[in-house]
Amino acid sequence: MLKSYLKIAWRNLLKQKVFAFVNVIGMSVAITAALLLTMTAYREWTFDSFQENKEHVYQIYREDYLAKGTAIGGSMAEPLADVIRKEVPGVKYATRIAGMEMPVRYGGKNIYFDVEMVDADYLKMFSFPVLKGNAAEALKQLNNIVVSENAAKKLFKEEDPIGKTIEVNIANKWHPFMVSAVVKDAPDNSSVFFDVLTRFENTDDYQDIRNRWDMGNYPLLAQVDPAVSQTALEKSMIPVSRKYYAEVLEDLKKEGAVKDKDGQMLRLKTIPLKDFHLNPFSNFNNGLNPFYPWLMLILAIMIIAIACINFINLSIARSLTRGSEIGLRKALGAMDRQLMIQFWSEAFLLCLVSLILGVILTVCLLPVYNASFNHQLSLGLFSNIRLLASLTAGFFLVTLMAGGYPAWRVARSNIVEVLKGKLKLSKGNNVRNGLIIVQFIVAAVLISCTAITWQQLKFVQAAPLGYNVTQVISIPVENAPQQALTAMRNKMKELPEVESMTAGMLNLGMGKDGNMGRWKRGFTYKDRNVKTQCLIVDYDYVKTLDLKVLEGRDFSREFGTDSTGVVINEQMARQLGEKDPVGAQLNLDEHNKFHVIGVVKDYHFESLRKKVDALMMMIKSPENLSYIFVKVNTPNATASLKKIEGIWQGLNPLARNNASFLDENANRMYKQEQRFSKIFLSGALLAILISCMGLFAIAVLVMTQRQKEIGVRKVLGASVSNIVVLLSKDFMKLVVVAVLLATPLSWYLMQQWLNGFEFHVSIHWWMFVAVGLLAITIAFITTSLQSIRAALANPVDSLKRD
């Protein structure tokens, strides 16, 4: 029986090639978009799913309940690792993680790898299979080193790595290590990853920080027994925070910190491993907004819903031409159930063909999609049973949505009307009007979101940051010896286009190396606590970046005391509360005592998502300098960058091609916003395209129903323009309603997004008017095409219709 239904359905579709083509194209494009978006969301939600202990491994972070709000820090005091192992019940393992890309040397080759310095518990906590060596002994000794499968191939090729000695450049010094194990590469959906592992004690600052509770530089992770819940773990760490953070608690009390419901001013909180990827407080979050996968899924549902609406509209429009067939079937005794199955069979065939084409398009477009949106999707995701089952269920749901309603309406049509050839599938057109409104609400929301996102991107790219971004080149130092920095300064003096050169501990914006950082310190000044970001700089920093000195002066080689001097910004000066902050004595601790020599105007050394924080710049050891900044004055900036980068590579053999201008660094901080803009734009274009197809289908339906009326009006003297306006105005009213409903929704959604920026554009009323006019214009053009055709038709032919 089913075979017979499908055979008849196939024949009917072949008779209506245009109808089938339009439906298949619309549905296949929608399915392609939905598949790509759903795969994206699924991948983001399943990060770290391969980890066996994902439910029991936590990152520990700190919350301070200040009078101005909660301060959150993910870098913990180094002694805390041993303390929680010994004093917190249920903790099995703990590890600190410090790492960055470092040169690794073997057999005359220097290769940059992601070197992570961890505690011996690391391989016990994470599910990275050991291919060679002993997992329990792999990090037992301080000179042990573990390499990934990929790193082993690059370093040793066909050699057995176990027992071989390799060198790692740590703080500009080569240190020998013995390979103790080879582990399988971390999958691309892992929040924690590495090429090389060695012991945490090998960090260059370990001896300085190993016993200090007043500062935290690196994240701390702990694994607990399965019986220990997250709530129980956090509760059991309260005695630890009281015992070891006593001085911090005293400082918080002086600052007027507030207590939570349990009377705590400071808490050690946790984030489960399964949440690392999308938790904004996690040190292992890659900057992705937690709403991002939801946005992907919502957009996929919207696109599929619009395609289903089109399918329904086209099915209804086509049913009007099949009144005689339906009437005959009913007269011959066809039951409602049989008619429903027949019409649903046709819908199923169309959806099946659309699905096949959609999958083919997905495979073809996947590389382009990954490149455009910076994703790492692969067809391997389809091997996951849960995802495959969800997509299969979604396909049958779409088929029921798209084909079920028209089939039900046709099957329940009045047999008398059908036998007369007059098929009416709805009363009052409520369903039809509702479908149009839904389609254009989606389209208007996406157009509005695209416009506001674009405005914000333009704003952050054009906003004055308070420093020179157009003519300053940033170069990562990358393990350069001091003599290379000195030689670089001498070389820059020989170039006529170079105005000045300096260096700093941190980059401005996000460079090509992907690094962004901050160093925050707190201390007491005249019985009140002061918190500031610290920045180690070289001479000429203010001059090179064109910072504006408001009081005092910049660092100078002519003053020997500048090694204990600091230059602060306006925010820091306000914290000190001095009318004349120059000369103020700042005692960070017993070993670090400074005096203020100058005040510079506030500048945005972080992104525009944040307020300008207090800042204190100091001159210290050159080993702390990680970036060179070169100010140039030339009409050919690109050529100057290549020349300067080449000079640096000649002086530092370990250097890579990572030089960039500061304006590029600033724009790189907003990759997420650029991604959102592309997504909204792509979604808006798809929504408009598919909505217009649906509107055209409804226009065909209406013109078919009103063909006789049009003939009468033409006979009575109505002009073509009058008829076009008459037939189009009802659709325009629906689009206006859709825009009015979409406006508050768009405003609310985008206002919530903009609130994530401390500095952002304002949403203006005229933008929504422009969106409305655009939507109305598109809808009018779409409906006018069919209206003009109907108005130009011969009225005699129209009046001959029954």
3-state per-residue secondary structure call for 71-90: EEECCECCCHHHHHHHHCCC
pLDDT in tens, 66-87: 877 788 888 898 999 999 999 9
Residue 15, pLDDT score: 57
Residue 109's φ and ψ, nearest 5 degrees, are -105, 135
Ramachandran region of residue 552, left (φ > 0), alpha (ψ -120 to 50) or beta? left
Domain count, the chain: 3
Q: Are residues 266 and 158 in the same domain?
A: yes
CA proximity to 771, closest of 445, 547, 360: 445
Establish if 204 belongs to a structural domain: yes
For residue 298, what are the contacts with CB-CB under 8 A and spacing of at least 6? none
Establish if 22 belongs to a structural domain: no
Q: Are residues 518 and 454 in the same domain?
A: no
Distance, CA of 630 to CA of 580 (rounded, Å):
32
Residue 29's φ and ψ, nearest 5 degrees, are -65, -45
Span 723-747, mean pLDDT? 84
Establish if 136 belongs to a structural domain: yes
171 touches 113 (CB < 8 A): no
CA distances in angstroms from 596 to 65, 464, 522, 568, 591, listed in the order given: 30, 26, 16, 7, 17
Domain end among 633, 668, 703: 668
Span 569-588, mean pLDDT? 88
Q: Are residues 119 and 268 in the same domain?
A: yes
Residue 286 clears pLDDT 60, i.e. is over it: yes
Domain end among 623, 639, 668: 668
Q: Are residues 502 and 556 in the same domain?
A: yes
Range of the domain at 160: 57-278
Q: Are residues 536 and 639 in the same domain?
A: yes
503 touches 535 (CB < 8 A): no
Query: What is the number of other CB atoms lying within 10 angstroms of the CB of residue 324?
Result: 13
Distance, CA of 132 to CA of 183 (rounded, Å):
7
Residues listed for the chain:
802
Residue 429, pLDDT score: 62
CA proximity to 87, closest of 300, 278, 256, 239: 239
Query: What is the number of other CB atoms lying within 10 angstroms of the CB of residue 742?
Result: 24
Query: What is the number of other CB atoms lying within 10 angstroms of the CB of residue 729?
Result: 11
Report the share of the chain in percent with pLDDT over 70. Answer: 84
CA distances in angstroms from 42 to 51, 72, 275, listed in the order given: 17, 29, 14
Distance, CA of 130 to CA of 605 (rounded, Å):
42
Distance, CA of 348 to CA of 396 (rounded, Å):
9
More confident: 10 or 227: 227
pLDDT in tens, 543-559: 999 999 999 999 988 88
Q: Are residues 457 and 486 in the same domain?
A: no
User: Residue 476: which pLDDT band, with cuts at 50, 70 and 90?
Assistant: confident
Establish if 208 belongs to a structural domain: yes
Distance, CA of 632 to CA of 637 (rounded, Å):
8
Distance, CA of 620 to CA of 534 (rounded, Å):
11
Span 681-685, mean pLDDT? 81
Distance, CA of 647 to CA of 658 (rounded, Å):
13
Distance, CA of 492 to CA of 632 (rounded, Å):
10
695 touches 778 (CB < 8 A): no
What's the chain's average pLDDT?
82
Query: What is the number of other CB atoms lying within 10 angstroms of the CB of residue 96?
Result: 24
Establish if 50 belongs to a structural domain: no
Residue 417, pLDDT score: 54
Q: Integer distance in angstroms from the first to the last C-alpha of the chain?
A: 36
Q: Are residues 659 and 556 in the same domain?
A: yes
The crossing angle, in degrees rounded to 10, of helices 17-45 and 292-319 is 160
Residue 428 clears pLDDT 50, i.e. is over it: no
Domain end among 278, 308, 338: 278
133 touches 115 (CB < 8 A): no
Residue 304 clears pLDDT 80, i.e. is over it: yes
Q: What is the pTM of this model?
A: 0.80
